[in-house]
Amino acid sequence: MLVGVPKEIKVHEYRVGLVPGSVRELTAHGHEVVVEAGAGAGIGIADETYEAAGAVIVPSAEAVFDAADLIVKVKEPLQEERRRLRPGQILFTYLHLAPDPDQAADLVASGATCIAYETVTSPSGGLPLLAPMSEIAGRMSIQAGAYFLEKVHGGLGVLLGGVPGVDPGKVVVIGGGVVGTHAISIALGMGADVWVIDRNVEQLRALWRQFGRPLNTVFSTREAVERHLREADLVIGAVLIPGAAAPKLVSEHLIRQMKPGAVVVDVAIDQGGCFETSRPTTHDDPTYVVHDVIHYCVANMPGAVPRTSAQALNNATLPFVLAIADKGVRQALADDPHLRAGLNVHAGRITHPAVADALGLPCVAPEEALTLAPA
């Protein structure tokens, strides 16, 4: 199979779909890899390094899309990239279609087979291709929140860890999954007063066992969310329903009741965000203020640390890339129900029920869609 790696074009997105080590594995399996010139520059990898791993460097994204059977990216394809997709081509990347009807319509119209990293599952019920980026985003959420709590950046002027004789800042994490767990780890390490809110009692027990008494665990009710957010200095939104739009757990009315200068970091923004007042921002312009509360809603947070995140992502995606290239996409999907869970669009049809439900569109089961001719 001919595998293509275009350079990412989202604002301040420096990650790359395949690192040279992954290219070498693909070429060792007998596959060809074409890489757009400069695709690895954001993580300090020269074109010559890709060539040494067996890739062919091509001058443009158009050349990659024209040649490749399988396109491996990081972020969702922007409009100019979606126009280059063709029937039967395979796209493997993060998609986050639920809050993005325009992208979904373009992918359906393209006739391509589109597999989303964020809905591929694992035997244990996890999301193995989302997990490494969730780990990074969770850790970065506290870093970003602490920065914007500084008075010079518009915040309350609170040091999360406090000092002897002065209370630490209060951090409230909504959602105790992968993002929340890593946010908790960093916040506790900084000495903050950390509270996690989740509706899954077993997850709260697991977090209690992991972190011990320094972590405060709260069962999620409207009353609990309202009470703790009014007192919070920093709130991390860390909820996820695989493939679906994030639930709006924090109303604008509640944002209005928070401390002036408090910070909210919405890590769920890729799926539409879990605060009513959230809208996507970029690393160029990461924050805005609503009712005197600073909102940080950058949709590609791990892109700020691309050397770490590109390698972590490749560690997770490479086995699936190899399976698709070695077997062909239909056989790979047929053989692996967990990869099949990642299929969002095939031959002009939406194939993931949560995506279809969020967009109000019909859904064709992946098993059925794979037997059908293009729409």
Task: Enumerate the active-site residues.
Answer: 96, 270
Q: 161: exposed, middle or buried (C-beta count within 10 Å: 0-12, 13-18, 19+)?
A: middle
Residues 6+ apart with CB under 8 A from 121: 127, 128, 242, 337, 338, 341, 342
Instruction: Give the integer Cα–Cα distance in Å for 117 and 248.
Output: 23
3-state DSSP assignment of residue 357: helix
Q: Is 272 left (phi over 0), alpha (psi -120 to 50) or beta?
A: left
Whole-angstrom distance, CA of residue 92 vs CA of residue 10: 16
CA atoms within 13 A on the CB side of 86: 9
For CA atoms 103, 105, 110, 112, the dihedral sign is positive
CA distance 302 to 307: 10
Element (H, E) at 24: helix 20-28
Tokens of 117: 């990293």
Strands 263-266 and 293-296: parallel
Q: Return all residues near 106 (Cβ < 8 A) that are at least 6 apart.
A: 79, 82, 83, 85
Sort strands 343-346 and 349-350 into parallel, antiparallel or unpaired. antiparallel
How many whole angstroms separate alpha carbon 134 and alpha carbon 58? 32
